[in-house]
Amino acid sequence: MSIYNESNDGARSTDDVAATNQFDYASFGECTSYVSRADWEGTFPKERAAASREASAAALDAINNTSNSLVDAAEDIAVVGHGLKIEDMKGLAYDDPKWNDFLEQIPVSEMVTLISNGGWATQEVPSVGKLGYTEMDGSNGVNNIMAGSTGNQFCAQSVLACSWNTALAYDMGKTFAQEAVAMKIAALYAPAMNIHRSPFSGRNYEYYSADGLHSGKMAAAETQSIQSQGVTTYCKHFAVNDQESNRDSGGLLTWVNKQAMREIYIKPFELTVKEGGSRGIMSSFNRIGEICAAENADLLTIVLRDEWGFRGTVITDCILQLSYVNIDRAIAAGNDLILSLMNIQSPSEALTKSPAGHQVLRSATHNILLCLCEQRGSGSQRHPCALRTLHLRWHR
């Protein structure tokens, strides 16, 4: 049996670095033994966890923490013209040195506008010729809740999953994406792949199943086909968003041990990144332990990017009216784009007026624009997915 850590067999062949445990704090000090096929009888839980618990002082401190988590930067960013446009970056690797020159052209004001107003669109970035594009909800078909228009609604993801047919999932995703292109949509908030932890969860219809591997294989096929048409997928909701009740009421605290976390709840996302090649991820409303998923660097940076090798954009769930998400911490943790409008949820001056904040904003901008470079018609010339009227609606 292989043990994939630095002390034994190193990284899995599909990981960039060896996995390390990141989620001890999510188990409430319980669930620290692991179920093992080598000793099923001895390791399988014998009783249910307590129905209610009293929050510890440490948990309350973590929930009420308002610091912005910035690490001091030695120097500020430079803003210099290099004559590069968005179309010049298409196909370049994330770490290509040309990105440094390209990003140096974008002033702080444009980065803030881009990052803060990611609700159903990405904004234009005039300094590099990037146009605004429309992005829309899924997961069962185009659903434009801002404009009141919808496309064909396919069967529920749970019904699709009952087919166990990845070829069918691929075909459905391709048709879904072709309709999105016809409706001038550049990215979809889909597919959704949380787990059927309970048959009573309010959104099981848009999640595949109770099994992480099954969900991941279906989602990876659908993601591949959607993106084959030049439409970006924002796979959602990352992670452990398996309950609708109270999920946006102060950030539902979700408790889970690291074995269940990796083998069940984040497995669909892992497969969608590694096999489906998803360029986008949507973080979730809930907390993992005491930490908001949108602010969780262990999840969004160490696991998603460092271990799995994800290169793309992480967007929040719709946080228009949510007060518990710290935008500064979210951006610093690797949550690049804020699903909000009209600067309702924007970074504070701690980010917009400090060298450390500027570095964080530039990193998020890099992730967003890297993703956009692979979208259909991503150059500076107007094309079918260019944003024409949506941002006017915001100001009515």
Q: Give the active site residues.
A: 317
- Return all residues near 217 (Cβ < 8 A) that are at least 6 apart: 166, 271, 275
Which DSSP string do the residues of 269-283 spell out, in sequence order? Answer: HHHHHHTT--SEEEE
Q: Which of 166, 277, 282 shows the shortest CA–CA distance to 228? A: 277
Give dist(CA 333, CA 327) in Å, integer. 10
Q: Dig out the tokens for 199 from the structure.
A: 């048959």
Pairing of strands 280-283, 232-238: parallel
Q: With H, G, I as helix, E, B as strand and everything else as coil, classify residue 149.
A: strand
> Distance between alpha carbon 266 and the CA centroid of its chain, in Å?
12
Contact (Cβ atoms closer than 8 angstroms) between residue 373 and residue 383? no
Whether 64 contacts 55, CB under 8 Å? no
- Report d(CA 222, CA 226) in Å as an integer: 6
Strand partners, 232: 187
Cβ-Cβ contacts under 8 Å for 342 (sequence gap 6 or more): 117, 394, 395
Q: Measured between alpha carbons, how far is 248 from 318 in angstroms, rounded to an integer?
A: 10
Helix (H, G, I), strand (E, B) or coil at 260: helix
Enumerate the β-bridge partners of residue 280. Answer: 234, 313
Q: How many CA atoms, within 13 angstroms, populate the side-chain half-sphere of residue 30?
A: 11
Contacts of 94 (CB under 8 A, 6+ apart): 311, 366, 370
**Secondary structure class of 292 (helix, strand, coil):** strand
* Residue 144 backbone dihedrals phi, psi, to 5 degrees: -90, 90
